[in-house]
C-alpha cells in the first residue's frame, strides 16, 4: 500500500452523530449491528462476518453476540433505516465498543482502523452524556429533597402565623390582666 492511499483513508471524517444514530441499546448494552459497521468500514456484511468467524477467539460474548428473533424484530420496529433487515433470514451479530475495537485488528485495513477510532469516540461521547445525565439527576434529587425540607419548614411557619391570627385581639381600652 502506498503512503498516499493510507493518507486518503486517514482523512476519512464521519460525523459522530452519524455513528451515534447507529448505536442501539440491546440487553442493556450499547451495540452496533454488523451491517452498520460493515457499511462504515466499506466492506460487505458477509466479509465482516467471515473475518469474525476466522477469529472467533477474539470475540467473547461481551464483545459480540447474535440477536434473538425477538430482539431483531424490536430493532427493526424501532429503527426505520433497518427495514431491509426484516427480510434477511439471518439473525445479525451486534458488537459492543470493545468488539468494534477488536474488529479493526481483524480487518487490518487502514480504513477499518480509522473508522474504529470514530466509532469508539462515539461510544465514549454517549458514555459521557449518560454520565452527565446521571450527575444532573443526582443534583435534581438533592434540590427536590431541599425543597421538600424547606416546604415543611414553610408549612410550620404558616401554621404558627395562622395560629397567631386566630388568637383574640384585646379590645381598645382594656389594660391589665384578663378576669376569669
**Domain range for residue 33?**
3-129
Mean pLDDT value across residues 154-163: 73
Query: Can you give the CATH number for the domain in which 78 is found?
Result: 3.10.260
User: Residue 53: what pLDDT?
Assistant: 93
CA distance 108 to 77: 34
Most confident of 13-17, 41-45, 64-68, 73-77: 64-68
Average pLDDT of every residue of the chain: 76
CA distance 128 to 66: 27
More confident residue, 10 or 78: 78
Most confident of 5-9, 51-55, 129-133, 158-162: 51-55
Residue 63 falls within a domain, yes or no?
Answer: yes
**pTM assigned to the model:** 0.59
Mean pLDDT value across residues 63-70: 93
Query: Could you say which DSSP state residue 26 is in?
Result: E
User: Residue 76: what pLDDT?
Assistant: 84
Q: Residue 1's Cα: distance from chain center in Å?
A: 38
User: Residue 68: what pLDDT?
Assistant: 92
Residue 40 falls within a domain, yes or no?
Answer: yes
Residue 90 falls within a domain, yes or no?
Answer: yes
User: Residue 136: what pLDDT?
Assistant: 67
User: Residue 10: what pLDDT?
Assistant: 47
Residue 25 has pLDDT above 50, yes or no: yes
CB 51 within 8 Å of CB 112: no
Domain count, the chain: 1
Residue 104 falls within a domain, yes or no?
Answer: yes
Residue 117 falls within a domain, yes or no?
Answer: yes
More confident residue, 78 or 148: 78
Residue 119 falls within a domain, yes or no?
Answer: yes
Residue 8 has pLDDT above 70, yes or no: no
Residue 143 falls within a domain, yes or no?
Answer: no
Task: Please report, in angstroms and rounded to a whole number, the separation of the first and last CA atoms in the chain.
Answer: 110
Closest to 88 measured CA to CA, from 52, 39, 47, 34: 34
Amino acid at each position: 500500500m502506498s503512503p498516499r492511499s493510507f493518507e486518503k483513508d486517514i482523512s476519512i471524517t464521519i460525523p459522530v452523530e452519524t455513528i451515534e444514530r447507529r448505536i442501539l441499546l440491546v440487553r442493556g448494552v450499547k451495540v452496533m449491528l454488523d451491517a452498520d459497521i460493515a457499511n462504515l468500514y466499506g466492506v460487505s456484511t458477509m466479509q465482516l462476518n467471515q473475518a469474525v468467524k476466522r477469529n472467533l477467539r477474539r470475540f467473547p460474548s461481551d464483545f459480540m453476540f447474535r440477536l434473538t428473533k425477538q430482539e431483531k424484530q424490536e430493532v427493526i420496529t424501532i429503527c426505520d433505516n433497518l427495514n431491509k433487515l426484516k427480510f434477511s433470514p439471518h439473525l445479525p451479530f451486534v458488537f459492543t465498543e470493545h468488539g468494534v475495537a477488536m474488529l479493526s485488528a481483524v480487518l487490518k485495513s487502514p480504513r477499518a482502523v480509522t473508522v474504529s477510532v470514530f466509532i469508539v469516540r462515539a461510544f465514549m461521547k454517549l458514555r459521557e452524556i449518560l454520565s452527565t445525565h446521571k450527575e444532573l439527576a443526582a443534583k435534581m434529587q438533592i434540590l427536590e429533597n431541599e425543597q421538600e425540607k424547606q416546604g415543611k419548614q414553610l408549612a410550620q411557619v404558616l401554621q404558627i402565623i395562622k395560629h397567631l391570627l386566630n388568637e383574640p385581639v384585646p379590645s381598645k381600652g382594656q389594660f391589665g390582666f384578663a378576669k376569669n
